[in-house]
Structure 1
Amino acid sequence: MSEYPEPVAEIPTGPVAVPPRVAALTGGRELVPVWVNGLGGLTFRDGGADGAAASYIKWVAAGTPELDLAAEAERLAWARRHGAAVPEVLAHGADASGSWLITRALSGESAVAPTWIAEPATAARAIGAGLRALHELLPVAECPFEWAIPARIARFEERVASGESPADWSDDYRELSVATARALLHDPPAVDRLVVCHGDACAPNTLLGADGEFAAHVDLGSLGLADRWADLAVAAWSIDWNHGPGFDHLVYEGYGIEPDQERISYYRLLWDLG
């Protein structure tokens, strides 16, 4: 078994069937599959036609409540209004077959592109710097969205009620009983600093420019108010999963903060189970 949580998304290595609705929305143009979410979501790059700018289209089949593209569109629009470096929403909608979100392509490459997999220290620092920029920029007092602990614990309880057991958790937590995990989740550390969190600050969701500096954030479907360590703990953990061990401390360095082991431990547990 892996030392880290099983990946829930990945760059596809083979052909990906284009859903009929996606083909219709993009004029039947040839699309490049760029991401497959373990929950069933797909992302394609559309090179555009007749000189139009490139875009990305996300697709979620009907019956996948975990992925709410309308909620993501709302969060992206709000973050952009406040100056965040995030994609511009071009269109979104839904029908009986599923839902979609089309955004304008941004310059830069994901931190898990081959260029940056080969430069893990650069990627780690840029991810930390990008989170700091987001946390400093977005106004807490005006944020209408939450990424609250109680709702995430409720998700844990739903998973347990559905039959999930510790055997399904990452190696870090597989030795815990459900009762112990529940007790730990219900004993969060005091909030260090309330910010507008990204909500899915894993390495693939930071874009880097050609100079290796932070360029933009993508995939903000869970953006909302939370302790900054809810982002930081997972961002650094994600460097381990994607780039290998030994670089996670550079996320904190890029952010400009010393690691807080109590909060890191709590928010990684919450991420894995909630």
Structure 2
Amino acid sequence: MSIPAAGAPVPARVRELAAGATLEPVWRNELGGVTFRAEGRDGIRFIKHGPKNLETTSAGEAERLSWAREYTPVPRVIEAGADETHEWLVTVALPGASAVAPRWVRDPATAVRAIGRGLRAFHDRMPVAQCPFDWRVSARTAAAEVRGIRVPDDLRVPPAEERLVVCHGDACAPNTLIADDGSWAGHVDLGALGVGDLWADLAVAAMSTVWNYGPGWEEAVVDAYGVPMDAERMTYYQRLWNAT
């Protein structure tokens, strides 16, 4: 994932959805999808547009966002749609900036603390029994195989679950929003949200600190989340993420 270069082309569908708003590309994912910030008379919206894929869908993310909004700060969905090759999702902007905004990259201690505390709040607020979405290992490996990914045999049986939670599903640093005072403000990109072990999210959040802030911050995320380090679960769920 990366920040698109200035002057990146804007798809016709995005211009249509923007309805005259000023557009700025802010994020490109590994599948080639781009998220645009659209600022107009109606305020700020985000338009996510990209090729269809078998991992997540805009319709699925819209459904998850609508469910999660009852419990925790996530964007409100305006529109989700698709054509033969691409799909899109339009949401209202939340207050706060991504944990990888330049300000927070320069202050990783504050960013990492917000990521850990925000993830714990996300997990604590969500009712597992009422969640209609599954992100357990069996569901993830089955979905990977549908996409043609052969999951190693030793990853098919996970460690005993420490605690079932409603996982974010992509708890990488960019998907945490941070308020001006350095506190957690909300989450974005919930296309894979579902029930799973807390370490399925926490291990990925920790791993992403290396990508975004450099080495040495993994334990700080775990400390901010508020559980003892578990090297076995950390390693397992990081390997599962990379494999699937």
Matches within 5 A, 1:147-226: 147-157=135-145, 182-226=152-196
Question: Which residue is equivalent to 1:108?
Answer: 96
Counterpart CA distance in 1 for 2:190 and 2:209 is 18
What's the TM-score, normalizing by structure 1?
Answer: 0.85
Residue 34 of structure 1 is matched in structure 2 by 26
Is 1:139 matched with 2:142?
no
Comparing 36-45 and 219-228, the one that deviates more: 36-45
Question: TM-score, structure 2 length as denominator?
Answer: 0.95
| Cα contact 1:60–1:67 (8 A) shared by 2 | no
Q: Which runs of 5+ in 1 are unaligned?
A: 1-8, 163-177
Spell out, residue by residue over 1:43-79, the C-alpha distance to the aligned partner (whole angstroms, 9 max, x if none): 0000022xx1111011123x43334011000000000
User: Is the 1:41–1:67 contact (alpha carbons within 8 Å) kept by the matching residues of 2?
Assistant: no
Counterpart in the other structure of 1:73: 62
- State yes or no: 1:21 paired with 2:13: yes
Give 1 or 2 for the bigger CA radius of gyration.
Answer: 1
Work out whether 1:256 is the aligned partner of 2:244.
no
Give the C-alpha shift of residue 20 in structure 1. Answer: 0.6
Hey, what does 2:115 align to over in structure 1? 127
Q: Which amino acid aligns with 1:56?
A: F
Partner residue of 2:35 out of 30, 43, 47 = 43
RCO (CA 8 Å, sep 6+): is it higher in 1 or 2?
A: 1
Counterpart of 2:49, as a letter, is W
Is this contact kept in 2: 1:196–1:226, CA < 8 A?
A: yes
Q: Report if aligned partners of 2:37, 2:47 keep a CA contact under 8 Å in 1.
A: yes
Aligned-CA RMSD value: 1.6
Q: Secondary structure at the match of 1:258?
A: coil
Q: Is contact 1:40-1:64 (8 Å) kept?
A: no
Aligned-residue sequence identity (percent) comes to 53
> Is 1:272 equivalent to 2:242 in the alignment?
yes
